[in-house]
Structure 1
Amino acid sequence: MEDEGAGLFRTEALQHYAQGGERGGLLKLSPQWTGPVFWVLLGACVFALVFSALVHVSEYAEGPAVVQLEGRMDLPSPVRGTVASVEVRSGERVAAGQVLARLGAAAELAELERYEREFELLLRQRLRSPSDEGVSQALASVRAQLELARARLEQWTVRAPEAGIVSDVRIRRGQHLAEGELVASLMREDSAAVVTAMLPGEYRPLLAVGKPLRLELRGFHHQYQELTIDEVGGELVGPQEVQRALGPTLSASLQVNGAVVLVRARVASRSFLADGERFPYFDGMLGEADARVRSQPILLMLIPGLRAVWP
C-alpha cells in the first residue's frame, strides 16, 4: 500500500500525465439546472428594480364626511309651551306663511276670543249710533287690544318663512318644548348638496382647490362618487370647532380625533348612482372621503435616501 503522505496526486495519474495522455477536465459539482435558474433570478431582479422605479404609489388623506343640503332652515320654537297640533309631514311642500305647528296657548286664545266678541258688539253699536263719540273711542281701544291679542297668539304659531320642502319634523302632539328648541327644518327645492370632509390636519399643505375628492357613502360600499374640492379651510380645527361648523346634530354622529381641516366639495346632482340605480342625497348622510396628496415610486419608499439624487 502506498503511503498516503507520499504526494498530492496518485502515482497512476502522474505517470499518465508524463506520457502525454489526455488531460482531464475540472470537476463539476453543480447540477445542470443552476445555470438557467441564475438567469431567471437575474431577470427577476432587473424587472423588480425597473418596476419599483417606474410604478408610483399614491398616499391619501382620509377622514369622515357628511352631506349637507344648502338652503336648510331650522325653525325653532318661538316660546316655551306644549305642542297643540302638527300641521305638516316630512317631505311635504309648503307655501310661504303656511302653518307648520301650533303650540298650546289657551289663555291667549281665550283673550283673543273675548276681544273679538267685544269688538263685534261695539261695531254693531257704532252702526246704530254713528255720532256716538263714546262708542267710537271704545271701538278704537278694543281694536288695538284685538291686534295685540292676535300678535300674542301668533307667537305660539310656527310658520314657513318661505316656500320649500319640509325635510324634518322633530315634534309630536303633546310634546313640551323649550324656547328655541327645534320644531322642523325647511329646504329650498333648488338647494344643492355639499360634502364636508374632515381630513387629517397634517395634510393641509398638500390640499388645494381643484384637486379630486372621492366619497364613499355609508351603506354603499365600494360605490365611489368622484368630486372636486371647492374649498379648503385656512386653519386646523378641533372637535369643538367641528361641532360649531356642522351643528350639534350632525357632529354628534362623527368621530373626530385631533386637529383636522375642513374640505368642501359641491355635488353636481341631487342624486347619486349606486349599483345601477339612482338615489337622492339626504341632509346628514355620512361617509368616508379621501384625497390624493402625493405620489412617489416604490423604490423611493423602499430606499428613502435616493430622494436626494432622484431626478
Structure 2
Amino acid sequence: MDAPRTKIFREEALRHHEGAQQDGDVLRISPAWTRWTYWTLLALLVSALTYSLVGTLPEYASGPAVVKVEGQSHLTVDLPGVVSTVAVKPGQRVEVGEVLVSFRSQEETVSLERIQREFELQLIRVLRDPADEAARQTLTSLRAERELAEARQQARTLRSPHAGVVSGLRIRPGQYVTPGENVISIVGDDVKVSLVALLPGGQRPLLEPGGSLRVELDGFRHEYHTLTIESVGDQIVGPAEVRRFLGPEIADAVQLAGPMVLVKARVPSSTFMSKGRTFNYFDGMLAKADARVRLERILVALVPGLKGALGHENR
C-alpha cells in the first residue's frame, strides 16, 4: 500500500485557487493626464514665485478719528443762574440776535421786585404831592436802579451771534448752570468739516501731508471715504494731552492708549452719501482712520530676513 502523498500547497491556498475570486489588474496611469498635471502645477508655482517677488502689501498706521465741524459756535454763560425758558429746538434755524435761552437769578429777581414796589410807592407820593422834591429825587434814583436791574436781567438772555442751525442743546428749563458751562451750539451757514486722526506716534516719520487717509465712520461699516492728509503734528503726545485737545464733550468716548500724533484731513463736503441717502457730518462723530505708510514686497513679508537683500519700498 502506497503511503499518502504529501501536499506541497496549503489548504487555504488551494481553496483560494479553486474559488471564483478574480485577481486584480496592474495599475495603469495615463501619460497625458500626468503630463498636463505636472505642467499646471509648475505654472502655478512659477506664478506664485513671480507674484511674491513683484507684488506688494501695504502697511497702515491705524487709529481712532474724530470729526470736527468748524464754523460752529459753542455758547456759554457768564453768570450763574437758573434756566427760565428755552426758545429753540435742535435742528431749528435761527437768525442773528434771535433769543435762544433766558436765565434768571433768584437774588436779582427779588431785588428787581423790591425796586419796582418802592418805585410804585414813590410814584404815588409824587402824584399826590407834585411839590415834594424829596419824593421826586427818590423816584429818579429808583428809576435808575430799576433800569440797571432790568439790564442785568436782559444780560442773562442768550442770543444767537449769527444765522445758522441749532445743533446742540444741553439744558432744560429749571436747570441750574454755572459760569463757563456750554449750553447750546449753533452751526453757521459757512461750515467747514475736518477730521482729526489719532495715529501711533512711532509711525510719525512715515506720515506726510498729501498722503491718503481711509476713513470708516462709526455706524457705517464697510463704507470707506478717502481723504487727503492736510497736516501732521510735529509733536508726539500722550492720552492726557489728546483728551485736553478733544475737549470734555468727546474725550471720554475715544479709546486712547500710548503715544499718538494728530493728523488732520480736510473733508470736501459737509454731507456724505450712504446707500443712496445723504447725511450731515456732526461735530464729535467717531471713525476709524488708516493711513498708508509703506509698501512691502510679499516675499519680504513672508521671509523678513530677505529685507536687506531685496530692499523694500516706502510709500
Question: TM-score normalised by the shorter chain: which range applies?
Answer: 0.7 to 0.9
1:272 counterpart SS class: strand
Task: State the partner residue of 1:169.
Answer: 169
Task: State the partner residue of 1:7.
Answer: none
Question: Cα distance, 1:133 vs. partner?
Answer: 7.6
Question: Cα distance, 1:178 vs. partner?
Answer: 2.8
Q: Distance in 1 between matches of 2:225 and 2:134?
A: 75
Question: Cα distance, 1:136 vs. partner?
Answer: 7.2
Q: Deviations over 1:125-171 (max 9, x none)?
A: 69x97x99867755653443234212322343322233322111111
1:97 counterpart SS class: coil
Task: State the partner residue of 1:17.
Answer: none
1:287 counterpart SS class: strand
Q: Distance in 1 between matches of 2:249 and 2:216?
A: 21
Q: Deviations over 1:40-97 (max 9, x none)?
A: 4433322111111111110111111111111222222332232221111111222333
Task: State the partner residue of 1:89.
Answer: 89
Q: Distance in 2 between matches of 1:76 and 1:39?
A: 77
Q: Does residue 1:180 correspond to 2:180, yes or no?
A: yes
> What RMSD over aligned residues (CA atoms) do the two structures have, in Å?
3.0
Question: Cα distance, 1:296 vs. partner?
Answer: 1.7
Worse-matched range after superposition: 39-48 or 61-70: 39-48
1:53 counterpart SS class: helix
Unaligned runs of 5+ in 2: 1-28
Question: Cα distance, 1:175 vs. partner?
Answer: 1.8
Alignment-mate amino acid for residue 53 of structure 1: L
Structure 1 residues 79-118: aligned runs within 5 Å: 79-112=79-112, 115=115
Task: State the partner residue of 1:74.
Answer: 74
Q: Distance in 1 between matches of 2:106 and 2:41?
A: 92
Q: Distance in 2 between matches of 1:110 and 1:176?
A: 17
Q: Distance in 1 between matches of 2:231 and 2:136?
A: 64
Q: Distance in 2 between matches of 1:244 and 1:105?
A: 32
Q: Deviations over 1:200-224 (max 9, x none)?
A: 1111111111111111111111111
Q: Distance in 2 between matches of 1:70 and 1:208?
A: 23
Q: Does residue 1:230 correspond to 2:252, yes or no?
A: no
Q: Deviations over 1:233-277 (max 9, x none)?
A: 111112111111111111111101111111111111111011122
Q: Does residue 1:248 correspond to 2:268, yes or no?
A: no
Structure 1 residues 13-52: aligned runs within 5 Å: 32=31, 37-52=37-52
Task: State the partner residue of 2:152.
Answer: 152
Q: Distance in 1 between matches of 2:136 and 2:174?
A: 43
Q: Distance in 2 between matches of 1:168 and 1:86?
A: 13
8 Å Cα contact 1:78-1:155 kept in structure 2:
no
Task: State the partner residue of 2:201.
Answer: 201
Q: Distance in 2 between matches of 1:147 and 1:211?
A: 60
Worse-matched range after superposition: 213-222 or 141-150: 141-150
Question: Cα distance, 1:115 vs. partner?
Answer: 4.5
8 Å Cα contact 2:70-2:191 kept in structure 1:
yes
Q: Distance in 2 between matches of 1:260 and 1:115?
A: 59
Alignment-mate amino acid for residue 255 of structure 1: Q
Alignment-mate amino acid for residue 250 of structure 2: L
Question: Cα distance, 1:39 vs. partner?
Answer: 3.9
Q: Does residue 1:189 correspond to 2:222, yes or no?
A: no
Task: State the partner residue of 1:21.
Answer: none
Task: State the partner residue of 1:281.
Answer: 281
1:216 counterpart SS class: strand
Task: State the partner residue of 1:8.
Answer: none
Q: 1:98 to 1:115 in 2, by over 3 A?
A: farther
Q: 1:81 to 1:261 in 2, by over 3 A?
A: same
1:162 counterpart SS class: coil
1:153 counterpart SS class: helix
8 Å Cα contact 1:64-1:288 kept in structure 2:
yes
Question: Cα distance, 1:99 vs. partner?
Answer: 2.2
Q: Distance in 1 between matches of 2:293 and 2:41?
A: 36
Q: TM-score when scaled to structure 1?
A: 0.79
